[in-house]
């Protein structure tokens, strides 16, 4: 595939994720930008805190970005979601479960992957595609999930990026199957999952206009490319 690289997940399934671009040649740079920023904040083998995330550093990929809040061992809801996700889903995703982006048959696997992101903790990259329907186009997608630590060291948030190819080819709501995946555990010494925090995810300090970011979102995050906050 030309310039594409493949990496193995290291799991028993032996699934492989193609990371660099779609088959059409479209770049996956939003995923690479988000991961580079996340790595720069956390340092080697560390998970950055959610309040370190500054939306200005991700300004050019905000439409593809989202923040998840963990609510069960294998469940999370969207706290913030960019316009690209809204366009795919056909609805405001604030408060919606993470699995709302996935086809029924893929939701259990999506939940298992999400659990690994929070508990290992691990970085997850998913290669997605819409279910094959006779006479209908197949839409490809790539997703990156990056764990975020809270002030007490627990992990109940994740920064995500979703990029899809051939937007508009399928009317919303678009639901994805998981073609393959890559899970990369964060090195030892990183923040670990907090069951206490998971048990009471809603008991936190009063949220600002952009809870999970370093400071309130500025006015320039208004339409057309903005993130939506769960109240």
> Per-residue pLDDT for the chain (231 aa), expressed as one digit of tens each?
344 344 444 443 445 454 565 555 556 789 999 999 999 998 778 999 999 999 999 999 999 999 999 999 999 999 999 999 999 999 999 999 999 999 999 999 999 999 999 999 999 999 999 999 888 888 999 999 999 999 888 999 999 999 998 666 788 999 999 999 999 999 744 554 444 333 333 323 223 334 444 434 333 333 334 444 444
Cα gap 161→30, rounded to integer Å: 7
Alpha carbon 147 to its chain centroid, in Å, reads 9
| Kind and range of the H or E run holding 177 | strand 177-185
Q: Which long-range contacts (CB under 8 A, 24 or more apart) does 24-28 make?
A: 24/165, 24/166, 26/163, 26/165, 28/142, 28/163
**pTM exceeds 0.85 for this model:** no
| Kind and range of the H or E run holding 181 | strand 177-185
Closest Cα to residue 226, out of 94, 39, 100? 94
Closest Cα to residue 38, out of 217, 159, 163? 159
Secondary structure (H, E, C), 64-97: HEEEEEEEECCEEEEEEEEHHHHHHHCCCCCCCE
Residues 117-139: b if buried by 16+ CB within 10 A, e if exposed: bbbbbbbbbbbbbbeeeeeeeeb
Bridge partner residues of 157 (DSSP): 69, 148
Strands laid side by side in the 227-229 sheet: 177-185, 122-129, 140-149, 155-164, 65-72, 75-82, 227-229
């Amino acid at each position: 595939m030309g310039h594409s690289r493949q990496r193995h997940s290291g799991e028993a399934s032996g699934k492989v994720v193609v990371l660099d671009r779609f088959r059409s040649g479209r770049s996956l740079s939003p995923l690479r930008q988000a991961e580079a920023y996340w790595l720069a904040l956390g340092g080697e083998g560390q998970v950055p805190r959610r309040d370190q995330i500054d939306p200005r550093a991700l300004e050019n990929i905000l439409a593809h970005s989202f923040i998840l809040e963990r609510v069960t061992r294998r469940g999370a809801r969207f706290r913030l979601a960019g316009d690209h996700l809204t366009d795919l889903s056909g609805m405001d995703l604030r408060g919606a479960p993470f699995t709302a982006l996935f086809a029924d048959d893929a939701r259990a696997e999506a939940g298992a992957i999400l659990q690994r992101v929070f508990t290992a903790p691990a970085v997850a990259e998913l290669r997605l595609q819409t279910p094959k329907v006779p006479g209908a186009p197949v839409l490809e997608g790539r997703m990156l999930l990056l764990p975020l630590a809270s002030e007490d060291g627990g992990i109940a948030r994740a920064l995500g990026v979703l990029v899809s190819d051939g937007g508009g080819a399928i009317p919303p709501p678009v639901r994805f199957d998981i073609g393959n995946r890559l899970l990369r555990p964060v090195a030892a010494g990183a923040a670990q999952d907090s069951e206490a925090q998971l048990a009471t995810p809603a008991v936190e300090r009063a949220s600002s206009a952009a809870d999970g970011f370093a400071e309130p979102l500025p006015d320039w995050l208004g339409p057309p490319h903005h993130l939506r906050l769960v109240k």
